[in-house]
Amino acid sequence: MVGRRALLAGVAGAVAATASGSAREWRVLPDGCVTADGTWLAYNVFLPPGFDPAGGPYPLLVLLHGAGADEQFWAGKIRLWSAVERGMADGRVAAPIAVMPGARDTWWVDSPMARAESWVVRDLLTDVALKYPVAQTRAGRAVAGYSAGGFGALRLALRRPDLFSRAALWAPACYADLPPATSGARRSAAFRGADGRFDEAAWRAVAWPAALAGYLAQPLRVPFFLAAGDADPLGIAQETLRLAEVLERAQPGQVTLRLIATGHTMRVWEETADEALAFLLPVAAGVTARAG
């Protein structure tokens, strides 16, 4: 097995080769790992300005993409990385390492088509910890996602609050009941029955109400940042409001809700990126994060 020292040296070399004297000229590095079931899980890694391979531990932010996307979804979101840099410069955001796994159309659940939830909590977190100086306690980890990625981030926060201390959901497909006919969930192989059609039972088994009882039965609570477009044609604003009300009753004062004047578009996260990142990556995150 390649040692962590050698892996970090490789990271340092990649940064040096790409930076050309300025950390702002590079943003994302490609990476990946073989999962326990033999699947190649590609992921991208964002390293902050001033990244020190021998430093840290850095807070870890896991970013989950939507249904039709892959690990490249977040890679080109310059608005997001600019918000990280601006927050660092203002002293509002701890310098993070962000990882962006790719699992197209899995909705981040374990299903016959893919073990996507396990890939994140078992394989991704283990591989990233071996290669990068990231925090390895829940206080230093956060998870976020857009659309189906918001659905996945919600499930991970509710099912594994021992791993993540904060969660942000942008335009989350967080249907408490069945998704509408226009939702991509209806066409995903993750929820397909033996007859090839959408399986209502498979959906209900992984919808957030199914995970809520277990979450409430344990002592840990995950603060949530929720944002949705008030004109989302998929009904996501109403579902997000419903989720916020349930979570607020369970953990008063630990839920932030923002409704943006838009539909199911990237404006949901573009207009809330600064606030959401300060929420996800507070400077006092309980880890030693160096801003460079």
pLDDT of residue 285: 55
Residue 137, burial from CB neighbour count under 10 angstroms (0-12, 13-18, 19+) = middle
Query: Is residue 6 domain-resident?
Result: no
Q: What is the rounded distance in angstroms from the CA atom of residue 179 to the CA atom of residue 173? A: 8
Domain count along the chain: 1
Q: By the 8 A CB rule, do 97 and 134 touch?
A: yes
Q: What pLDDT, in 10s, does the model give residues 2-24? A: 445 444 544 544 444 333 333 44
Query: Is residue 83 domain-resident?
Result: yes
- Residue 288 pLDDT > 90, yes or no? no
Residues 6+ apart with CB under 8 A from 14: 29
Percentage of the chain exceeding pLDDT 70: 88
pLDDT of residue 17: 39
3-state secondary structure of 229: strand
Residue 214 domain boundaries: 28-280
Q: What pLDDT, in 10s, does the model give residues 19-68? A: 333 344 457 899 999 999 999 999 999 999 889 999 889 999 999 999 99
Q: What pLDDT, in 10s, does the model give residues 115-126? A: 999 999 999 999
Query: Is residue 95 domain-resident?
Result: yes
Query: Is residue 2 domain-resident?
Result: no
Q: What pLDDT, in 10s, does the model give residues 138-192? A: 999 999 999 999 999 999 999 999 999 999 999 999 999 999 999 999 999 999 9
CATH of the domain at 136: 3.40.50.1820
pLDDT of residue 104: 95
| Nearest of 92, 98, 76, 83 to residue 142 by alpha carbon | 98
| Nearest of 127, 98, 156, 99 to residue 39 by alpha carbon | 127
Query: Is residue 188 domain-resident?
Result: yes
Determine the straight-line distance between the first and last CA of the chain, rounded to whole angstroms: 30
Summary mean pLDDT of the chain: 89
- Residue 1 pLDDT > 80, yes or no? no
- The overall longest dimension of the chain from CA atoms, in Å, is 57
Mean pLDDT of 88-98: 94
Dump the DSSP string for 259-285. EESSSSSTHHHHTTHHHHHHHHS-S-S
- Residue 246 pLDDT > 90, yes or no? yes
Mean pLDDT of 96-110: 97
Give the CA dihedral 60, 65, 70, 75, nearest 10 degrees: -60
Q: By the 8 A CB rule, do 135 and 163 touch?
A: no
Name the CA radius of gyration of the chain, rounded: 18
Query: Is residue 160 domain-resident?
Result: yes
- Residue 264 pLDDT > 60, yes or no? yes
